[in-house]
Each structure stands twice: as structure tokens, then as C-alpha cells.
Structure 1
Amino acid sequence: MRKFFVSLLILLWAGIGNAQFTELKEARVGFDPVLPEITVDGENYIFKIEEKYNGEFEKDPVAFLDKYCNIEAFIDLVQDGKTVEYQVEVKSTKGRMKAKYCKEGNLQRVSYRLKNVLLPASLQRDIYSKYKGWNMTRNIHIARGIDGDVQKEYFKIRLEQGDKVQKLKIDVDEIKPIEITSL
């Protein structure tokens, strides 16, 4: 019986010695939405919006603008009755986009210029097959549109091979789709 009590005492002592006590601090719950940083430059409003992940802006700049720039709420906030249109500029590390909205909040014009973006796979394949041995040192993706739709979109590509320089301008409409399988 004595061994039992000694064993029990040792187990209790070991249990208390190994127990971890955590002091909990006060928890605060709040709502902090991601708001763009806005700079006013004359009649232009420049939005600085952080991307959630790398490449989000360059993937589809118009969709990015729609997702992160609630223009109707912005116009309600700054409207003065005299302004007929609002020019918004979104900047990214890859480039910038300019958009013009009417006083009702409808997108009238959009243009963007992105540098050193990932080219579509079919364009990569075409350039590689036609310009073997050349290195692409720079590319620029340029697009312009009206009423939220992009009408003119093209790539400017600079290739170098030693001292030779080749510049290409490729319209997006001319890019062939990728053939995955053939029957």
C-alpha cells in the first residue's frame, strides 16, 4: 500500500510539473476592409491597390478594376455636381491602367500598358520556333477600349541576339489558339 501511495504521489508531482498554464489576453473583433489608397492629382484620382497575389492585376486589369474599385460608392463620396467624368488610374509594379467613368459610374474608356508580362502560351511557342537563338529582353502589353470592352490589344516584343535587335508588334487577334490534341 505504501508503494501505491508513493507511486501516486510521484505521478501527481510529474503531472503538475509538466502542466502548461496559458494566460489568455483580451480578444478584439473588428472589421477592417482593404481600402485603396487614393491620391488626387488635379481632376485625376490615382488608386493604389495592393494585389492579393502576384500577377492578379496583369491577368485581367479590367476585372481587377471592377473587383477592387467600387466606382459608384466613390462617386457618391466625392461628387460635387460639376464633375462630368472621373478619371481613375491604377498603378502596379507591372504597369498602369487609366479608366474614364461618366458621372453615373459607367466605364467609358479604358487603357493599360503592362511591361514584362507572361505571354500567352501560343505566342511563346510561335516566337520560340521562329526566332531560335534570340532572347526576349522586354515585352509590353498595350490595350485600349471603350465602354468596358477592350477593342485594340497588342504586344510589343524586343528580341536580341548578340548585337542584333529585332522588334515585333503582334496583335492579340492574330495569336492562334493552342491545339491540345488532334484527332
Structure 2
Amino acid sequence: MKNLILGLFLFGFIATGHSQILLEEAKIEYRPVSMQLDPDTNYLEIIIPEKKVGEFQQDPLAFMKANFDAKKLALDNKDADIVKFEVYFKSRKGFLVALFDDQGELISTNQKFKDVRLPEDARLEILRTNKDAVIKGTKYIAYSKGWDIDKEFYRVKISDGQKTQRLRINRQNNRHSIAQNQ
């Protein structure tokens, strides 16, 4: 029995000694995704995942600034003689279209989202002027020149029993005003 245990111990020691193989160092180079347009279609599709749900819809311009490098796109396509290019960002709830110049500088944006949560003061104003109203749907629309939002408003569909109304709520300097009934 003693010989058997000693033999197994010796076999295990020899087997582990032979299994120790030295590996050479692996070199890994990081190459970011090429942002070169397809020469036939002048089209490029890149999927940018959100880190948390609703991040894109909450602040589309900040999401674009943090996750998309327009200057790299312009640099990768400098041989294509691009004067301006449009970039589309889309989600289930809406989209953002951004127009850039040949240097990758933002010229303007256009964004539209549906089923957005209205700001608290706008909701209270709607409920104050329309006592028994129920908000049926909302849309947020905004335009910018460069990185500054130039014009933004909400379109709201409300129902008061049998009657349905459409309201437009302008937003300027973090203040809201119901502009018109549509």
C-alpha cells in the first residue's frame, strides 16, 4: 500500500512537471472601427449601444457628442471629396439627424421623439386649463444650430371625454407656454 501511494505521488509530480509549458507573450493591438464610407453607396452603419435605457432619448446631443467622433469620420474619408455629411441616430422612440461639414464640425441637427414625458410645469399648465383632460400622446421636436438648441416644442394630444385637442407647447429658456390649439 505504501508503494502504491508513493507511486501515485511520484506519477502526479512527474505529470505536473511535464504539463508546465511556457507560452510566449501575446501582443494585441487595438484598432478602432474604420469609419470609411462604402465607395459604392457612400453609406456607413455603426451600432452604438446605450449604457442605460433611454440615455439617447434623454439628451440626444450629449449622447452624440460622447459616442460619435465626426472628426474621425471626416478624416477617414478625406479622399472622398465630401463637402457635408449627414449622420442619423435612431431608436425605437425617435431619431436625431445631424449635419456636419467636411472638417467634422456640427452645422445643425433635427430631432423628433414620441411618447416623451412632459416637463412638470407643462403638465400642470395643461391640467389647470383643461380640468378633466387626459394626455393621450406627446411628441418632442427640436432643431439646433451647432450644439445649441435653437427651437424646441412639444405636440400634445389630450382628450376630455368625447373631445380631442392637439396642443403645441413651446419651450424657451426652460420656460413653457401653450402656443396654440391645433
* Same-fold status (TM-score > 0.5): yes
Deviation, structure 1 residue 162: 2.7
Change (3 A) 1:175 1:103: closer
User: Which residue is equivalent to 2:64?
Assistant: 65
Distance 2:140 2:171 in 1: 9
Q: For residues 66-91 of structure 1, what are the alpha-carbon distances to aligned partners after superposition, in whole Å with 9 as ceiling and x for unaligned?
A: 01111112222233341101100000
Distance 2:172 2:130 in 1: 20
Q: For residues 103-147 of structure 1, what are the alpha-carbon distances to aligned partners after superposition, in whole Å with 9 as ceiling and x for unaligned?
A: 111100101001111111111221222222211111111011112
Change (3 A) 1:42 1:162: farther
Structure number with greater CO (CA < 8 Å, separation at least 6) is 1
Tell me if the contact between 1:83 and 1:103 (Cα under 8 Å) persists in the aligned partners. yes
Alignment of 1:112-151 (within 5 A): 112-151=111-150
Unmatched 5+ residue regions in structure 1?
A: 1-29, 178-183
- TM-score with structure 2 length normalisation? 0.69
Distance 1:168 1:38 in 2: 44
Change (3 A) 1:168 1:75: same
Deviation, structure 1 residue 39: 9.2
Distance 1:32 1:126 in 2: 53
Unmatched 5+ residue regions in structure 2?
A: 1-27, 177-182
Distance 2:31 2:122 in 1: 39
User: Which residue is equivalent to 2:93?
Assistant: 94
Name the amino acid aligned to 2:97.
Answer: K
- TM-score with structure 1 length normalisation? 0.69
Alignment of 1:170-181 (within 5 A): 170-173=169-172, 176=175
Moved over 3 A (4+): 30-35, 37-48, 174-177
